[in-house]
Amino acid sequence: MIAEILSVGTELLLGNTVNTDARDISEYLSALGIDVGWHTVVGDNPGRLTDAVNIAKSRADLIITTGGLGPTCDDLTKQVLAAAFGIELYFDETEAERIRGYFSRRIGRPMTENNLQQAWLPVGCTVFSNLWGTAPGCTFEKDGVRVIMLPGPPRECRAMFENCAMPYLRTLGEGEIVSHNLRIFGRGESEVEFPLRERMNAMRNPTLAPYAKEGEMFLRVTAKAATREEAERMMEPVIAELRESLGAVVYGVDATSLEAVVSDLLREKGLTLAAAESCTGGLLSKRMTDLPGASEVFRGGAVVYATDSKTSLLGVPAALIEEKGVVSREVALSLAENVRAVFSADFGVGITGLAGPDGDGVHPVGTVFVALAAADDSFVREIHGGRDRDRIRTMAASHALDMLRRYMTGLPVEKI
Amino acid sequence: MIAEILSVGTELLLGNTVNTDARDISEYLSALGIDVGWHTVVGDNPGRLTDAVNIAKSRADLIITTGGLGPTCDDLTKQVLAAAFGIELYFDETEAERIRGYFSRRIGRPMTENNLQQAWLPVGCTVFSNLWGTAPGCTFEKDGVRVIMLPGPPRECRAMFENCAMPYLRTLGEGEIVSHNLRIFGRGESEVEFPLRERMNAMRNPTLAPYAKEGEMFLRVTAKAATREEAERMMEPVIAELRESLGAVVYGVDATSLEAVVSDLLREKGLTLAAAESCTGGLLSKRMTDLPGASEVFRGGAVVYATDSKTSLLGVPAALIEEKGVVSREVALSLAENVRAVFSADFGVGITGLAGPDGDGVHPVGTVFVALAAADDSFVREIHGGRDRDRIRTMAASHALDMLRRYMTGLPVEKI
């Protein structure tokens, strides 16, 4: 089975938004063992959309559309797809009722009539109710091609893929395809990939695919077998060997994120964290509190962006800042120790550095000191995150999380 | 002139990376007044790439490829494009020398021979030297179609588009196309679009296009004329009328973000902000410090996630929390007032609410109180952000920024 993802929306062609839907769906399909052959984007233009559907029909077994299901006059995906497959639309009373209910309950404002346009669906389709927004999705099969239509807003698209499309696609597969993802922090792409390259190319089942994202590395192991158990058995020795050769930089298999791993470790041990952030400006706190249930493990944080606030709020001695400089090992440590005390947490993290674009005349832009204070020990890493402001901030927060993970699992903390 | 962006790379089809190249190039082309009709992604597969090139040739005047110019055996874009247009490749000695120099200067490692594969280029093309990496790009015209090839890594792709492709494309355009973007906070997509629908459909030049992103709305006005001045003149009355009819929900024309507008207002007035965040967990601080130069206007923040830290760090009376509940108008106000005092800032923001998934038995999940404290006045908004944790947090931080914007521009603060 080979799939084409057909995204509809002039905003994509204008460069107003990036096509994360195609990325997300590709990732899901890849995990399901379904090959993706093409991504196509067209605007809200019925002629070009019709042509694109006809091209997709001629080469793909599965067409997944995103976008163009909403209430505006630009939203034409259902009409065009139905016409291209020679199917009529009908007005779905159940969905209309759900949309009316959505407005009265969630929005608390009267619904404008154009919203009911979304309740028109192809005759004979399986309806995917949208519990995360208004526009329903659907699936139908005709002329040997399976079509799935999903709404464009990324949150709705992901939720509907996971909850509606995924269970359905699972029933179509032959055998089981199972993947596991090794997550790695502290090694670059070529460092991970180069020693594995020959072996990866020779592997057929399981397969191994490396990729890099936001300063982290991922190694995906995928096996196909008659049963899930057999696929798992085939992957076991491969994963064990990779973990052995990569060592402590592997922070988890199928982990969601560094912050999720750290949160789980804290919860398991009944410990808590507080963060004092300067150049990261709240990013570490934000990442810790992205996770539901964060209040059990995250006490809070201080974003001591202004230099004097480091002293007034957290009691970092002004003389220390004067002597060592605000971007220094000593100030990072003082931030970590003091935030730990102020929030009565088990661990304190202190981050101070230069996210740019301006330097301080001493350190190059990208220099960040990250400190971890525990009850009876403390650690500092000096990192150099390049010149990109976002990247520097992401890396600094990730290093703090990695230090915590290593401390709690008995690994060396300062060196990676 | 209508363009197709053809991105080559199996990593895109596997969902390992998101196609930011297509977004970036679309944005540039849009600014140049060149319509983008299609984005297409294919893998590193010569057969499918050839088919995709033939489809693109049949419908577009300009084909811009990204990716597949590198040194590995998967990098086939130049070979396939040249073959599809019946052009031979030649070995460019100048580029070969540049690539050798890149390795000896930048990488400090001997160059492996496969890197010279990148110096093969289509006969008769204009070479775009890559000063940001190794693989050169190029452009040629044949059969009435203009082809531009750019490397895949986003940083190189952007730099080469700006420095090599852009000056070239400027010489091809006729007239000037100018756009302005109205940014709107506080109105939904259908509320903005519905009253404008008939008018939008009737407009030809200027045109009007609405879109939604992260809880905000955008209205893009675009005009085409012989000169930039004339295009501006054509748009002026349209923009004035839209601003008039939409009113205070328009927070800027061509503004980067709410936080950028607020930062500029603060800087202009010489004022500063501090933030006390509970459910947003540092997101507002992060957004304020995403901007270079944030230290002039943002004093810092307290992420008082644990209830007792609201008292210990910011002095919110424990009795007040006991009496009114931690998610309340009164606690939001106390957070705003106290963080303002602790950080010696001109404004304090306080955010407390339920980002979910758990409720408190009193308020529904998604209820957030956002308070703004100024020197002699204070304000609270109660918002209901739905059930999605990310969305609730984004909306709460945006509401805080909107309140600040309204206060500083003399608009009503609590109602939108």
Whether residues B309 and B181 share a domain: the answer is: no
Section A15-41 average pLDDT: 92
Q: Which residue has the tokens 């705003």?
A: B336
Q: Of the candidates B199, B226, B253, which is a domain's last residue?
A: B253
Section A345-355 average pLDDT: 96
pLDDT of B210 over the 60 cut: yes
Distance from CA of A277 to the nearest CA of B (A): 9
B296: contact with A, CB 8 A cutoff: no
* pLDDT-based confidence at residue B73 (cuts at 50, 70, 90): confident
Q: Of the candidates A236, A253, A270, which is a domain's last residue?
A: A253
pLDDT > 90 fraction of chain B, expressed in percent and rounded: 69
Instruction: Determine which of A43-57, A156-170, B57-71, B180-194 has the lowest per-residue pLDDT on average.
Output: B180-194
pLDDT for A31: 80
* pLDDT-based confidence at residue A210 (cuts at 50, 70, 90): confident
pLDDT for B146: 96
What total number of domains does chain B contain? Answer: 3
Residue A386 or residue A400, greater confidence: A400
Helix (H) or strand (E) segment spanning residue A302: strand A298-303
For residue range A308-324, list pLDDT tens digits in order.
999 999 999 999 999 99
Residue A159 or residue B30, greater confidence: A159
pLDDT of B216 over the 80 cut: yes
Q: Best interface-test mutation with B: which of A290, A303, A308, A358 has the largest number of B CBs within 10 A? A: A303
Helix (H) or strand (E) segment spanning residue A79: helix A77-84
Instruction: Determine which of A92-96, A363-367, B376-380, B399-403 has the lowest per-residue pLDDT on average.
Output: A363-367
pLDDT of A172 over the 80 cut: no
In a domain, B236, yes or no: yes
For residue range B125-159, list pLDDT tens digits in order.
999 999 888 899 999 999 999 999 999 999 899 99
Residue A116 sits at φ, ψ, to 5 deg, of: -75, -15
Whether residues B151 and B41 share a domain: the answer is: yes
Distances, alpha carbon B209 to alpha carbons A72, B182, B189, B201, B247, in Å: 11, 10, 11, 10, 18
* pLDDT-based confidence at residue A182 (cuts at 50, 70, 90): very high
* pLDDT-based confidence at residue B108 (cuts at 50, 70, 90): low
Helix (H) or strand (E) segment spanning residue B121: strand B120-122
In a domain, A415, yes or no: no
Section A133-155 average pLDDT: 95
Report the CATH number at residue B203: 3.30.70.2860
pLDDT of B88 over the 80 cut: yes
Average per-residue pLDDT for chain A:
92
Cβ contacts of residue B199 below 8 Å, gap of 6+?
A: B208
pLDDT > 90 fraction of chain A, expressed in percent and rounded: 70
For B286, which of A286, A299, A300 is closest by C-beta distance? A286
In a domain, A414, yes or no: no
Whether residues B289 and B404 share a domain: the answer is: yes
Section B163-170 average pLDDT: 88
Chain B residues whose CB is inside 8 A of the A299 CB are 305-306, 309
pLDDT for A174: 66
For residue range A85-134, list pLDDT tens digits in order.
999 999 999 999 999 888 877 666 678 888 899 999 999 999 999 988 88
In a domain, B66, yes or no: yes
Q: Best interface-test mutation with A: which of B1, B10, B23 has the largest number of A CBs within 10 A? A: B23
In a domain, B193, yes or no: yes
Domain that residue A360 falls in: 258-408
Whether residues B229 and B279 share a domain: the answer is: no
Whether residues B138 and B28 share a domain: the answer is: yes
pLDDT for A167: 86
Whether residues B247 and B313 share a domain: the answer is: no
pLDDT of A29 over the 70 cut: yes
pLDDT of A387 over the 60 cut: yes
Whether residues B120 and B106 share a domain: the answer is: yes
**Distance in angstroms (rounded) separating the CA atoms of residues B6 and B64:** 6
Whether residues B238 and B265 share a domain: the answer is: no
Whether residues A7 and A142 share a domain: the answer is: yes
Cβ contacts of residue B399 below 8 Å, gap of 6+?
A: B368, B370, B381, B383
Residue A151 sits at φ, ψ, to 5 deg, of: -70, 160
Give the 3-state DSSP-derived string for A320-342, with helices as H, strands as E and coil as C: HHHHHCCCCHHHHHHHHHHHHHH
In a domain, B213, yes or no: yes
> Would you tell me which residues 152-191 of chain B have a C-beta closer than 8 angstroms to some C-beta of chain A?
188-191
Section B105-121 average pLDDT: 79
pLDDT of B298 over the 90 cut: yes
* pLDDT-based confidence at residue B190 (cuts at 50, 70, 90): confident
Distance from CA of A195 to the nearest CA of B (A): 16
Average per-residue pLDDT for chain B:
92
Q: How many residues does chain A have?
A: 416
Locate A359 and state its tokens: 């330097």
Judged by CB atoms closer than 8 Å, whether chains meet at A313 and B284 is answered as no
Whether residues A71 and A194 share a domain: the answer is: no
Nearest chain A alpha carbon to B33 = A14
In a domain, B415, yes or no: no
pLDDT of B107 over the 90 cut: no
A282: contact with B, CB 8 A cutoff: yes
pLDDT for B262: 98
For residue range A222-279, list pLDDT tens digits in order.
888 888 899 999 999 999 999 999 999 999 999 999 999 999 999 999 999 999 999 9
Distance from CA of B58 to the nearest CA of A (A): 12
Report the CATH number at residue A128: 3.40.980.10
Whether residues A217 and A86 share a domain: the answer is: no
In 3D space, the residue among B220, B388, B253, B13 whose CA is nearest the CA of residue A35 turns out to be B13
Whether residues B75 and B24 share a domain: the answer is: yes
Chain A residues whose CB is inside 8 A of the B313 CB are 300, 302, 313, 342-343
* pLDDT-based confidence at residue A195 (cuts at 50, 70, 90): confident
pLDDT for B158: 94
Q: Of the candidates B114, B140, B170, which is a domain's last residue?
A: B170
Section B92-96 average pLDDT: 94
Is the distance from CB of A374 to CB of A407 less than 8 angstroms?
Answer: yes
For residue range B346-374, list pLDDT tens digits in order.
999 999 999 888 888 888 889 999 999 99
In a domain, B143, yes or no: yes
Locate A304 and state its tokens: 């001591």
Q: Best interface-test mutation with A: which of B16, B181, B339 has the largest number of A CBs within 10 A? A: B16
pLDDT for B330: 97
Judged by CB atoms closer than 8 Å, whether chains meet at B26 and A43 is answered as no
Report the CATH number at residue B321: 3.90.950.20
pLDDT of A48 over the 70 cut: yes
Section B231-250 average pLDDT: 94
Mark out the alpha helices in A14-69 (DSSP H runs): 20-32, 46-59
